[in-house]
Amino acid sequence: MREFKALPIEVKLHRHIMPEPMSGCWLWDGAVGTNGYGVFNHHKITRNAHRAVYEIYKGEIPKGLELDHLCRNRQCVNPQHLEAVTHKKNIGRGARALKTHCLNGHLLC
C-alpha cells in the first residue's frame, strides 16, 4: 500500500495565491467560506488562508487580536496587507470604509 504524505503547508498555500500587480494583493483562488475569506484544509482541519499566511511570514497572531485587511479585500492573503488589531478597531475601520459622506453630507476623501 502506498503511503500518503501531506504537503507542507507553504506548498498548499502557494498553489492558491495569485499576486495582483496593480493592488499588491495576493488573491486567494482556492476555496472560499461563506464569510468571503479563503479557506483550506491542513491535517483535516479547516483554516483561514489569510491567518495561515500571516503566521508563516509574520509570526503568531497575538492573543486577543484579529487580522484586519488594510486593503478591505477578504480574499487577499498578502501579509503586508494584514494588521493584527483589536476587534473594536477592526469593526470601526470596516464601518468607516463603507461611509462615503459625513453626518453633514460632505463627501469623505
Arithmetic mean of pLDDT, 88-105: 76
Give the Cα separation of 65 and 3 in Å (integer): 39
User: Collapsing DSSP states into helix, strand and coil, what is residue 42?
Assistant: strand
Please state, rounded to an integer, the average pLDDT across all residues of the chain.
89
- Reported as a single tens digit per residue, the pLDDT across 86-95 is 999 998 887 6
pLDDT band for 16, please (50, 70, 90 cuts).
very high
- Residue 29 reports pLDDT greater than 90: yes
Q: Could you give the CA distance from residue 100 to residue 29 in angstroms, rounded to a whole number?
A: 30
pLDDT recorded at residue 43: 86
> Residue 1: pLDDT above 80?
no
Q: Which tens digits make up the pLDDT trace of 64-88?
A: 999 999 999 999 999 999 999 999 9
pTM (2 decimals)? 0.80
Q: What share of the chain is helix, strand, coil (3-state, %, to 5)?
A: 30, 25, 45
